[in-house]
Structure 1
Amino acid sequence: MHLADFIAGSVGGAFGVAVGYPLDTVKVRIQTQRHYSSVWDCVRRLFRNEGMSGFYRGMSMPVTTVSVCSSLVFGTYRNVLHRLHALRDRRAGDAHHKADIFLAGFAGGVAQVSVMSPADIVKVRLQCQTEGLQNMRSDSKLKYRGPLHCVLSIARHEGVRGLYRGSAALALRDGPSFATYFLTYNTICDLLSAHDKHAEWTVILFAGGVSGMCGWAVGTPMDVIKARLQVDGMSGPRYRGFIHCITDSVKTEGPAVLFKGLSVNCIRAFPVNMTVFATYELVVRVLRTAS
């Protein structure tokens, strides 16, 4: 087992959340609420109605769980890649086959779904919770008082299965997205590192940012469907399931609806994944040097 990758992925994921959460809130609002005319309109109205704290609504759950999810992604990726490399009878110093990187990334993305799905639905619902915030009256009541109350409310009213609403879309988002993510990162590092043992930090930062953008370009359509299914239980179900959500969304809003939030995802992805990969590589190198 490559334990260093689990630890480094955990630390990198936590730093990534801290950097990208405000834009993630904007992205979720745009994908699930139809009254915003643009990204800037969403930012302006969110700040006016809820202040800076509105951009960080529901952040406590992702900070604690994304570390676990990121640990699973990077740890699974590295260990699957190692196994596939061994099956090809390649030596440790040989370059990894691109197909192996793609498959290992896919496995890493899917592996995190069981942990991420409950945390993600809590995050999305807290981010989209606006009742009681528009006028800030003393008698206004929020549906969810916090992450724990949100978890318990979903489990009580929608059953344990409710915590996994949208999990199929999440798996279809993260499998291809992380496969693209790791393949892009490794390809850029190989091209720009001149076959050095370790890529330069400027290469790592650039490759991390670009790989994040490419991953979200692939994953955004399923991200939209996932978010809509997750929010659907807040005020009565609109969608009968995964397929109905896709067909109804496209029918009522056109195919472009599947790329709602893509610009925000890409803008957010560059600094977030620069941070994730730089932190990951730093921690891995420290741990492996220490061992």
Structure 2
Amino acid sequence: MAAISKETLPPFGHAISGATGAMFALALVYPLDIIKTRIQVQAKHDNLDDSEQEHYKSAMDGILQIVKKEGIFGLYAGLGGSLIGTATTNFTYFYFYSLLRDIYNKRRTGTAAPSTAFELLLGAAAGALTTLVTTPVSVITTRQQTLPSSERQGMIDTCKSILAEEGIAGLWRGIQPSLILCVNPAITYGSFEKIKEIVLNALKTSLTPALAFWVGAMSKTLATVITYPYIMAKVRLQWKPSKEMEDRVVAYKGSLDVLNRVLKTEGFFGWYKGMSTQITKAVLSQALLFMMKDIFTNYTVLLYAIIRSSRAKIA
């Protein structure tokens, strides 16, 4: 029986290590996650006075305002749903990504590494499959992060409210930009593989957790800058105004409607509102994920080896 290694770890093993690493990373950067989400939904509405619209000047200003109004736990509103969503998203993504990559490796001829175009296509395919499965959790999390504390509900009650008010389609709000954003992990993971290859060849070394952190940071920054307008559009589509604002805020019809209205009211740079916080959160989270996934993959390999050894003894 062949020994288990990182290279021979099955897709399920990669999914476990990826999901665990992602949850660990999110828990560390969650206050930035809630701040960037709230900044992304802060729009100029004609029927509302400036005093009625919450605005953060910066990430630190947002943190201070939330702590003042909601206490320290306000920075962790919706954390449970976010962790479930992150685990589901990353488990599904890493499973499909590893599965599709394994299928390709078994069928390809020659020893040449996959091209950049193929890496992007592979990432997009895995991302599309993941999006179809996990969008409802994303919608629920966005609602929990952005509604006032007086209207905020638990994950199950939030889901029930969406179903009662918007029907089953409400759980898939923002699916269009979400599918377009499948190029984000495609760019991230595709560029990660290529940047890693270049760095390792240049330094003549193996991938360490610290090196994985910096390569992950570079790849995620690139992906975020390219796709940010649609990241903002997706969050605004999934957002719901508070009850006191609901009748005076015109609902968005789609991602293009979001982009057009933002361009008219806030200009081109309105498309990139909150991007610095998004990049900080995304880069830290993704870099930590790549670093921790490598560590958790080692533990997963060890766990598989223990299970195999136990089964062999029983047999």
Q: When the two structures are superposed, what TM-score results if normalisation uses the length of structure 2?
A: 0.81
Worse-superposed segment, 276-285 or 180-189: 276-285
Cα pair 2:209 2:294 within 8 Å, conserved: no
Cα pair 2:162 2:171 within 8 Å, conserved: yes
**Which structure carries more relative contact order (alpha carbon 8 Å, separation 6+)?**
2
**Deviations along 1:61-93, whole A, 9 cap, x unmatched?**
1112311210111121222223334444134xx
Identity %: 22
**Deviations along 1:36-62, whole A, 9 cap, x unmatched?**
252133222122111221111111111
> Does residue 256 of the first structure (1) align with residue 269 of the second (2)?
yes
Provide the residue aligned with 1:21 in structure 2. Answer: 30
Q: Per-residue deviation at 1:283?
A: 2.6
Higher-Rg member (1/2): 2
> Does residue 106 of the first structure (1) align with residue 119 of the second (2)?
no
Amino acid at match of 2:15: F
Provide the residue aligned with 2:99 in structure 1. Answer: 79
> Does residue 153 of the first structure (1) align with residue 161 of the second (2)?
yes
> Does residue 275 of the first structure (1) align with residue 295 of the second (2)?
no
Whole-Å Cα distance in 2 between the matches of residues 76 and 52 of structure 1?
Answer: 37
User: What are the equivalent positions in structure 2 for 1:1-291 lying under 5 Å apart?
Assistant: 2-34=11-43, 35-39=54-58, 40-91=60-111, 94-130=112-148, 133=149, 142-173=150-181, 175-194=182-201, 198-232=206-240, 235=246, 237-288=250-301, 290-291=304-305
Extract unaligned runs of 5+ from structure 1.
134-141
Q: When the two structures are superposed, what TM-score results if normalisation uses the length of structure 1?
A: 0.87
Worse-superposed segment, 193-202 or 215-224: 193-202
Provide the residue aligned with 2:308 in structure 1. Answer: none
Cα pair 1:193 1:203 within 8 Å, conserved: no
Q: Structure 1 262/118 Cα, relative in aligned 2: closer, same or farther at 3 Å?
A: same
Extract unaligned runs of 5+ from structure 2.
1-9, 44-53, 306-315
Amino acid at match of 1:118: P
Q: Once superposed, which parts of structure 1, at least 4 consecutive aligned residues long, lie more than 4 Å away?
A: 195-198
Q: Per-residue deviation at 1:232?
A: 4.0
Task: Give secondary structure in 1 for the equivalent of 2:151.
Answer: coil
Cα pair 1:13 1:71 within 8 Å, conserved: no
Q: Per-residue deviation at 1:187?
A: 1.8
Whole-Å Cα distance in 2 between the matches of residues 16 and 108 of structure 1?
Answer: 21
Whole-Å Cα distance in 2 between the matches of residues 13 and 221 of structure 1?
Answer: 24
Q: Per-residue deviation at 1:9?
A: 1.4
